[in-house]
A and B are shown apart, each in its own frame.
Chain A
């Protein structure tokens, strides 16, 4: 377990008796707010594991003479707690930058605090269309749907698909999926014949699928995570709809194939992280990850791993004068950062520009489409 601020305080007191403990005062501190308990704890725990891998590697590399320390705080994906943690991080003068949170809701509520106080906030997953626009202090390491939608639209047009039905979950992210795809697709001459939102965790997609079939689209574009995705794909197969399904990087997860089985075959999606990609960074991360986990890492831990590394690279750039302002400027200047989710740069709004990989499910595995 990493040190929390309270343990640190206790340690500072203890350091009178134990001189070794006072070393912590020299380190550079980064805050990480994430859900370690509650409904979304599985994501937060993965982020923490990925961050630990990145941090251990960094501190062993000796790029700067002092160690970097990450202070984790549990937000439970609750906005109340997220804001409280943000205030706590801002109070601690030693913390120079913050990673997180997981959901857009919590990230955006906390962002108001970071904006007021001037602290760089880099979220690995906040996908709300307005998140990075809140102020110059917000950055994210998840491709926006404007980017993914455009790539998917072009992909379909290239395949000769002109008539598409679009469905997405009813969340801020789902809204951005639809908008990010429909606008460029129409511009390229495509036609959207049906649009529908569903609430997360819907068990029965049959009525939606039937309505989709009535419109006779040539493909379905979908915005869902793997749980809903598996359910949807199984029912599409059961109803024998025979319409190709395209999706976003959110559906990219080995569990999708596990849950949907043969129904997942042929699913096409854009992704930023493929654990099978031949790349030294990817191989290193996947090897380290597998030492403590049974499965290969999914997209989210990979994004967290990169977010931590981007922050650490910015610390190196700003060193020795690491302040909240200099760290923010260093993060903003990130250009072609070679991460496991592709090369990352930030545009002037703090949005990441990444290369997207096209992938499809073939014989029960995700493979890259050239």
Chain B
């Protein structure tokens, strides 16, 4: 058996046998909740990985697309009686559609301008959730009374819900993995390294960016539906800017361009605050210090392909460059 195959099998055994067995043995809803949350955020981080890690686009509004998915699933479920079976793919499609619309005018932007545009998209969608009261219920949020219902079978047990979330997340992450390690993924990587060179080689950069952005939004939408169905209540604050930053941090800590790294980054940032609960009020400071240390001593993240500091310097610095005129340096 080849080594990669062995690792994959081992992971499958862990996710679908060891972890559920351990969770059943512990019999605590608390651990199930953390496991579910970890899957949702691993999927979110993996979907952002495609845009930020592989294609090298600094995306600051990912949580809002996650929110679109959650809202689509919750509103379809609570207002139109469309359950999980169809709600899940529709949440993905809804998020992808919104992403497509906002991508059209913004994807021609480069580097820091792109980052600012996605920041704007995130803020805009958040304000839509917050202020479009007739549809989204505004700040009152949406309550979803139905549980997960798969092709007519109601899934109520903790173990059942775990398996649904784990399967959906695992399949999505597998697809994202195939995408990022394919010919297509390499084209995205070339975009990250040098977009002008990529364009010169005949690759349509704008189309590639839109595709990556939309695919990533689709999976963020799926994650949103999982969150809506496992919590039963969503409101705009669940999808604000700080959540976008949290997801971005997972990608950076894990390592730009490495999917296993990103997944471990997500696990770390979900589990660490829980493990550190023992320390009381200073637990967030500890998490912050660890992240600071990570970026200082592991600028490539845990398994990254790219140095995050150099990446940031390139993205943020490209608008600021040396200028040989009298002024010396200045904005382009």
Contact = CB atoms under 8 A, between A and B. Distances in A.
Contacts of B277: 4, 6, 73-74
Nearest to B147: A116
A187 interface: no
A112 B29 contact: no
Contact of B30 (A76, A87, A130): A87
A362 interface: no
Given A76-B284, A174-B139, A7 B278 contact: yes
A4 B278 contact: yes
Interface in B120-142: 127, 130-131, 133, 138-141
Contacts of A129: 140
B28 interface: yes
B141 A108 contact: yes
A130 B143 contact: yes
A88 interface: yes
Nearest to A128: B140
B233 A112 contact: yes
Main secondary structure of the interface of A (DSSP, over half): helix
Nearest to A105: B235
A113 B233 CA distance: 10
22 contacts: A4-B277, A4-B278, A4-B280, A6-B277, A37-B284, A79-B231, A79-B233, A79-B238, A87-B28, A87-B32, A88-B29, A108-B143, A108-B233, A109-B233, A109-B234, A112-B231, A172-B235, A173-B139, A175-B133, A175-B139, A175-B140, A197-B131
B37 interface: yes
Contact of B33 (A1, A84, A104, A130): A84
Closest 9 pairs between A and B when the two form their complex, measured CB to CB: A112-B232, A87-B29, A88-B30, A87-B33, A172-B139, A87-B30, A91-B28, A172-B140, A6-B278
A171 B28 CA distance: 34
B310 to A, nearest CB: 32
Interface string A184-208: 0000000000000101000000000
Given A108-B143, A170-B139, A74 B281 contact: yes
A184 to B, nearest CB: 20
Nearest to B278: A6
B34 interface: yes
Interface in A3-31: 4, 6-7
A113 B29 CA distance: 10
B280 A1 contact: yes
A9 to B, nearest CB: 10
Interface of B: 28-30, 32-34, 37, 127, 130-131, 133, 138-141, 143, 231-235, 237-238, 273-274, 277-278, 280-281, 283-284
Contacts of B32: 87
Contacts of A88: 28-30
Interface of A: 1, 4, 6-7, 36-38, 73-74, 76, 79-81, 83-84, 87-88, 90-91, 103-105, 108-109, 111-113, 117, 128-130, 134, 170-175, 197, 199
Contacts, number: 96
A81 B141 CA distance: 17
B231 A109 contact: yes
B139 A91 contact: no
Residue picked from B28, B32, B37, B140, most chain A C-beta under 10 Å: B140
Contacts of B133: 175
A80 B130 contact: no
A171 B137 CA distance: 10
B281 A105 contact: no
Contacts of B283: 37, 74
Contacts of A170: 130-131, 138-139
A84 B278 contact: no
A197 B34 CA distance: 37
Given A4-B278, A112-B231, A173-B139, 18 more contacts: A7-B278, A36-B280, A37-B284, A74-B277, A74-B281, A81-B273, A83-B231, A84-B30, A84-B33, A109-B233, A112-B143, A112-B232, A113-B29, A128-B140, A170-B138, A172-B140, A172-B141, A199-B131
B124 to A, nearest CB: 13
Contacts of B143: 108, 112, 130, 134
A123 to B, nearest CB: 14
Contact of A105 (B28, B37, B238): B238
Contacts of B30: 84, 87-88, 90-91
Nearest to B237: A105
A109 B140 CA distance: 12
Contacts of B233: 79, 108-109, 111-112
Contacts of A117: 29
A79 B230 CA distance: 12
Given A38-B284, A90-B29, A91-B28, A130 B140 contact: yes
Contacts of B284: 37-38, 76
A91 B131 contact: no
Contacts of A83: 33, 231
A48 to B, nearest CB: 10
A4 B280 CA distance: 8
A308 to B, nearest CB: 19
A79 B143 CA distance: 13
A85 B171 CA distance: 29
